[in-house]
Amino acid sequence: MIKAVRGTRDLLPPDTALWNFVEAAARDVFRAYNFQEIRTPIFEETQLFSRSVGEETDIVSKEMFTWEDRGRAQSDKGQSLTLRPENTAGVVRAYVEHKLWERGLNKLYYIGPQFRRERPQKGRYRQFYQIGAEVIGPPTAGSESPARDAEIIELLATFLDRLGIAGWNLELNSVGCPNDRASFNEALRKALRPVVSKMCADCQRRAVTNPLRVFDCKVPEDQPIIAKLPRISQFLDEPCRKHFRELQGILNSVGVPFAINDRLVRGLDYYTRTAFEFTHGALGAQNAVLGGGRYDGLSESLGGPSAPGIGFAIGEDRLVMSLKESAEPVLRRPDVYIAPLGPGMNREAARLARELRRHDLVVELGDESFRLKKSFETATRVGAKFTLIVGENEVKADSFAVKNLETGEQVSVRRQELVARIQSDR
């Protein structure tokens, strides 16, 4: 038997109803904040990610699905392509390619699969799904303003509340500008030299290639060492400090609670200034539901003009997992099960089902070969509220037996009154 590849899985009913609920809620919230949808290819040129995400990040160095797309002849050297491991780089590539700065401030969102070759664990898969958004545009459109940061964070708080997820926590930090990070990295290297030999192999490598990534470490034995390292907040210049203070002030004014975590860094090289994560206790140790931050120089690194931006990505797999533990699954079961009884009744049942569905009723159809007992058993199994019996006598009288499967009450209802009767007891 062929099974799904390790690290992937099938999304099946009734769970898909919950996924649809989450995505519909996301689209409603994005609409309220005037975001518009963008859809980019699921694979891009490899250099897009190596230039934007960073050569020394775990994503680029260890986790990408990359292949050479050869030309028509076997000898032709093709371009290197990669399944997208994240979507911000693709959105900014589209921003540059299509000169979206001519539209002023762009507020864009996406929903779709991403791909990383990492060890599968709770809530993490090699094909996973993200809901994300980006606010990007020329500085003259206000894209640098901390108000943009606050709006996108407040949008996320609204979204989580809309889903009924209680108990989320927002952690906030500023990772400064490139000059701040240069000073901070030098201080980190100096602090790490005498202790790095006691840390895990990944941290020993990161200490050389990109010291900031040390803060991504989850190894428990390394945490006491990390706790004593310098903090980025000690190295922020005054413009970055002011930007961070103004962001906090706006969040306080709109009632979005947060905690400062000056150990919080984002795992990608393009982040500047604001960094944030929403966490939820239902996910255990790996409790991040979503994260994001500002990336003011990303457009320039991809050959575009100055276009400050901020965005986020929600791990939809982990969000749905969190929602399943804190809210009832959202599944609309059939309003009515139509039970055709006897030869020729499939045709009459189909006509009746079409009439009811036109009024937004969810209808499940039986088959004329079923005995009445089997029809009732099937109706109960699919979770229908009513069973509607369609037999020769009912068709002649144009009046049908309707049984409430919760109360056991059965009444005869004329055809023109069926919709109102079923809708009134939904």
Q: What is the pLDDT of residues 342-351, one digit of tens each?
A: 999 999 999 9
Highest mean pLDDT: which of 66-75, 218-227, 243-252? 243-252
Other Cβ atoms within 10 Å of 368 Cβ, number:
18
Q: Is the pLDDT of residue 73 over 60?
A: no
| Residue 143 CB neighbour total at 10 angstroms | 23
Q: Supply the pLDDT for residue 122.
A: 66
Q: What is the pLDDT of residue 150?
A: 96
Which uninterrupted H or E stretch holds 82? strand 79-83
In whole angstroms, give the CA distance from residue 169 to residue 44: 34
CA–CA separation, 270 and 52 (whole Å): 6
Q: Tokens for 390? A: 């369609």
Is the confidence at residue 326, as pLDDT, over 60? no
Maximal CA-CA distance, the chain: 92
CA torsion, ordered 235, 238, 240, 245, to nearest 10 deg: 110
| 59-70 pLDDT, tens digit each | 777 789 999 987
Residue 286 has pLDDT above 60, yes or no: no
pLDDT, residue 267, reads 57
CATH class of 15-177+237-326: alpha beta
Q: Which residue has the tokens 């690194």?
A: 301
Per-residue model confidence (pLDDT) at position 268: 60
Kindly state the average pLDDT of the residues 275-290: 74
Residue 260, both tokens: 């400062």
Residue 39: which pLDDT band, with cuts at 50, 70 and 90? very high
| Cα–Cα distance, 335 to 319 (Å, whole number) | 29
Cβ burial 287-319 (10 Å sphere, 16+ → b, else e): bebbbbbbbbbbbeebebeebbbbbbbbbbbbb
Whole-number Å distance between alpha carbons of 421 and 308: 57
| Mean pLDDT of the residues in the chain | 89
- Look at residue 426 in the predicted model and tell me its pLDDT: 65
- Name the residue with higher pLDDT: 400 or 61: 400
3-state helix, strand, coil in the chain (%, to 5): 45, 20, 35
Domain with CATH 3.30.930.10 in the chain: 15-177+237-326
What would the mean pLDDT of 227-240 be, rounded to a whole number?
A: 89
The Cα–Cα gap between 216 and 209 comes to 14
β-bridge partners, 294: 272, 310
**Rounded-to-integer distance, Cα 53 and Cα 62, Å:** 13
Instruction: Report, as an integer, the average pLDDT of 187-192.
Output: 88
Low-confidence winner among 108-117, 144-153, 203-212, 242-251 (lowest mean pLDDT): 203-212
Q: Calculate mean pLDDT across residues 177-201.
A: 86
Mean pLDDT of 69-89: 80
Is 0.85 topped by the overall pTM?
A: no
Query: Percentage of residues in the chain with pLDDT exceeding 90?
Result: 61
Quickly state the pLDDT bin for 78 (edges 50, 70, 90).
confident
Print burial letters for 88-118: b (CB count within 10 Å at least 16), e (below 16).
Answer: bbbbbbbbbeeebbeeebbbbbbbeebbbeb
Helix (H, G, I), strand (E, B) or coil at 365: strand
In a 10 Å sphere around its CB, with 0-12 CB exposed, 13-18 middle and 19+ buried, how is residue 331 labelled? middle
What average pLDDT does range 265-288 have in this prediction? 73
DSSP annotation of 63 reads I
CB contact at 8 A, 134 and 92 = yes
pLDDT at 393 over 80: yes
Alpha carbon distance 80, 144 (integer Å)? 34
Residue 370: pLDDT band with limits 50, 70, 90:
very high
Residue 350, both tokens: 């189909």
The CATH 3.40.50.800 portion of the chain extends over 336-424
Domain 336-424, architecture per CATH? 3-Layer(aba) Sandwich (3.40)
Selection from 330, 326, 318 nearest residue 14 by Cα: 330
Average pLDDT over residues 267-274: 75
Q: What is the pLDDT of residue 29?
A: 96
**Can you tell me the distance from the alpha carbon of 239 to that of 214, in angstroms, rounded to the nearest whole number?**
26
* Secondary structure class of 350 (helix, strand, coil): helix
- 328, with CB counted inside 10 A (0-12, 13-18, 19+), is exposed
* 74 has pLDDT over 60: no
Task: Judge contact between 265 and 175, C-beta under 8 A.
Answer: yes
**Is pLDDT at 132 greater than 90 in this prediction?**
yes
pLDDT for 196: 87
Side-chain half-sphere of 411: how many Cα atoms within 13 Å? 10
Query: Residue 358 is inside which H or E element, if any?
Result: none
CA 130 to chain centre: 3
Q: Is the pLDDT assigned to residue 44 strictly greater than 70?
A: yes
User: How confident is residue 206, by pLDDT bands cut at 50, 70 and 90?
Assistant: confident
